[in-house]
Copies of this chain bind each other. A is one copy, B any other.
Amino acid sequence: MIETPYLLFLGDAPDQLAAKVAQGIKDWRPENAVGQFRMEGCKADVGLKDMTLAEAKEAGARTLVIGVANRGGVISQAWKDVLVEALAMGFDLASGLHNLLANEGDLVAASQVSGSTLHDVRVPNVQYPIANGKKRSGKRVLAVGTDCSVGKMYTALALDEALREKGINSTFRATGQTGILITGNGVPLDAVIADFMAGAVEYLTPDNDPDHWDIIEGQGSLFHISYSGVTLALIHGGQPDALIICHEPTRTHMRGLPDYTPPSMESVRDMALALARVANPACKVVGVAVNTQHMSEDEAKAYLAEVEQQMGLPAVDPFRHGASRLADALADL
């Protein structure tokens, strides 16, 4: 659990895309951030108030979150100067960088002096159990993709928001580092030891109120050979009552695998459903989330109408048009 509210560290981000973690926090949990901290030369701006460390501290910030990707996998001295100062002022630090805060001697030393916590959200800090497969109370929905990086996290966050707007209780359950930083907690599933993956998902989505929905962030794809095992652990550990198929229609090959053609939405529907019913025989596919970012508005609308007919399910782009119809499909279950 990362303490909120945050000050978002944008560092010397070379462009807006480099600050996508900070942008995600601003977009989805604006109440978690008091402002942004930008260094000289920073080319990103997530639209929050620029603050010094002292101003953020005064505004109540508890944690400095590294909301930017670093270059070359090295935490630069320029960053270090800010991070060490923040620790000395009593901020905790949180990071999803590949190179860990815990491996930087000067940050560890500074955190020990001030009693601050270093959160490396790529590394599990819990001893997860082996999955026991017991039926849990409450309801769960999982986003499953035709490929990696097709918008599963975005779909889950949009669905969470749409459910709340309709007055339905729900919780977004993060399974990757960006989602964990956005919400302040979750399971970094791709870093969990194989035997405990499904158990980690059970841990993340415990018993809940009968009318409560856990919106589980998906990872990988059953059809992406590098990460399919992680996807199946989500399907079996999550015991979803509902699945949402996520698709990006302009992909010509699987991400990072030039020899692999993306599967059809029907293949993903059938395979995911058959596997999900091992853990929850009542599981249903309730909708399709299409990432239409590479299409014009007219193309997107035409494509969504076509998918809706083809699949017999509501098909939306949650970024372009909101996830309200997917939330309705869940509410109707």
Contact = CB atoms under 8 A, between A and B. Distances in A.
Interface in A231-252: 231-233, 236-237
A193 B192 contact: yes
A55 interface: no
A91 B199 CA distance: 38
Contact of A275 (B189, B237, B259, B271): B271
A235 to B, nearest CB: 8
Interface stretch (A15-23, A130-138, A320-328): A130-138
Contact of A274 (B193, B271, B278): B271
Contacts of A233: 194, 228-229
Contacts of A120: none
Interface string A192-205: 11110111000000
Contact of A228 (B135, B225, B227, B232): B232
A225 B230 contact: no
A237 B227 CA distance: 10
A287 B194 CA distance: 28
A125 to B, nearest CB: 15
A208 interface: no
B193 A230 contact: no
B133 A260 contact: yes
B197 A225 contact: no
Count this chain's copies in the assembly. 2
Nearest to A190: B195
Interface string A66-102: 0000000000000000000000000000000000000
A262 to B, nearest CB: 11
A259 B194 contact: no
Interface string A112-142: 0000000000000000001111110000000
Given A130-B226, A260-B133, A191 B198 contact: no
A45 B126 CA distance: 41
A223 interface: yes
Interface in A245-303: 256-257, 259-260, 263, 271, 274-275, 278-279
A259 B193 CA distance: 25
Contact of A225 (B190, B192, B198, B223): B198
B194 A230 contact: yes
A222 interface: yes
Complex A-B, nearest 9 residue pairs according to Cβ-Cβ distance, in ascending order: A229-B233, A229-B229, A225-B236, A190-B195, A131-B226, A133-B225, A229-B232, A232-B232, A133-B257
